[in-house]
Amino acid sequence: MMKFLKPVLLTILIIGLSACNSSIGQSTARSPQQTRHVEETPLQTKKENEEKSISEQKQHSWLLAGEEGLDEYVQFLVNLDDPSGKTFIRVDDMIDAMQTKEERIKYRDSQIDVRKITEDGSRIAILRDSHEDHQSVIQIYNLDSGEKENEFELPKDAYYPLVSPDLNKYLYELNKHIYLYDLSNDQTIEENNITIEGLYSGQFSPDGSKFTFTDDQKGIILIDLFKQEKKRLLTDTKIAFVNTWDQENQLIYTVAKNSKKYQGDMYSLKIVNEDNKWLGTYLYSSVLSPDHTKLIYGDSDEIKTYMIDTKSGEKRDISRTLEGTGSWITPLQWLDTGLDYMKYSNRKK
């Protein structure tokens, strides 16, 4: 059984969540085993310098996407600024280029699934899944330097790890319980306030300290992961899932409208005063740009991919840019970054 969600659409369609009232307790599950930690010294100064360097470079828009309908599920990064569709790289090939020969041999039978890329596009957390021993490994790579920063094993039979924006926190399911692993202090706690269904429909806050998800009362639950506080937002609404939470006081969510066509009304919500703003009606498989001015979605009926201007409503066919093979493209994450991922296209250690 796959221990990560492959396509994302299956994840976001799970609605019907259970209300939860119990507090956070200490977990009996072992903390993930760290097998390699490349950088032992404090990273703050180095990361700040890297982020400054990346931000000073010319920014390009990249899309992380998955391709359905093939013999195997493929994830790739494509440069949206190149309409020819020739500037793209498979994630498997990119990770392969950053590994040593020994690592490529060790992990040759495992599958890769991207769990999160940082907002600036500089770091990536991937899940390596081995079907034979039911073991999953998280690896974190620096996409600027091409080095592996960290690697650790999730507990055996752990499912669906959800990663915080800074790649430090990991929510996962194990034996029908939800656990939070904090990489920064190597601590694991059980999260009794989060349901299994809630894990599928939720999002971390930008700083990773909170988590929000929908429940069976069709509202949004906000959990403070460390203060053990729970707050309900937008009670009695028909919210399907939380799309993204990329700004501290604002999250994006979707209300189910036409389940047969996988359509919903998308809204932005200001958490402080619960002020709502309607953004439009879109397919569930949609990804917003970081500034929320554009949106990309894959149309499974037409087998095409479109970009929409969220202000004017202008719709543009970008199928050629994504260089699809006639199968359905699922957009996963939009990145505006100064990095050029094509530097890994012909590189091997």
Q: Could you tell me how far CA 240 lies from the centroid of its own chain?
A: 18
Residue 57 lies in a domain: yes
pLDDT at 133: 67
Burial 186-225 (b: 16+ CB within 10 A, else e): eebbbbebbbebbbbbbbbbbebebbbbbbeebbbbbbeb
Q: What is the pLDDT of residue 326?
A: 47
pLDDT of residue 295: 94
Is 36 inside a domain boundary?
no
Please report the pLDDT score of residue 45 as a whole number. 55
pLDDT reported for residue 12:
38
Whats the size of the chain, residue-wise? 349
| Domain assignment present for 85 | yes
Question: What is the 8-class DSSP label of residue 344?
Answer: G
Contact present, 238 and 15 (Cβ < 8 Å): no
Give the pLDDT of residue 2.
Answer: 39
DSSP track, 61-90 = EEEEEEE-SSSS-EEEEEETT-TTS--EEE
**Total count of domains within the chain:** 1
Question: Residue 311 has which token pair?
Answer: 């202000």
- The CATH number covering residue 217 comes to 2.120.10.30
Judge whether 254 lies within some domain: yes
Residue 18's CB is within 10 A of a number of other CB atoms, namely 11
Kindly report the three-state secondary structure assignment for every residue of 187-233: EEEECCCCCHHHHHHCEECCCCCEEEEECCCCCEEEEECCCCEEEEE
CA distance 158 to 250: 31
Residues 71-89: pLDDT tens digits?
Answer: 778 899 999 999 888 899 9
pLDDT of residue 54: 64
Please indicate, yes or no, if residue 33 is contained in any of the structural domains: no
- pLDDT for the residue numbered 141: 98
In a domain, 276, yes or no: yes
The residue ranges of the chain whose pLDDT is under 50 are 1-28, 35-41, 325-326
Domain span at residue 187 reads: 8-27+46-344
In a domain, 247, yes or no: yes
Question: Could you tell me which residues are beta bridge partners of residue 179?
Answer: 172, 190
Q: What angle do CA 221, 154, 143 make, to 5 degrees?
A: 90
d(CA 209, CA 183): 13
Helix (H) or strand (E) run with residue 288 in it: strand 286-288
235, 219 contact by CB (below 8 A): yes
State the pTM of this model: 0.82
Q: Is 14 domain-assigned?
A: yes
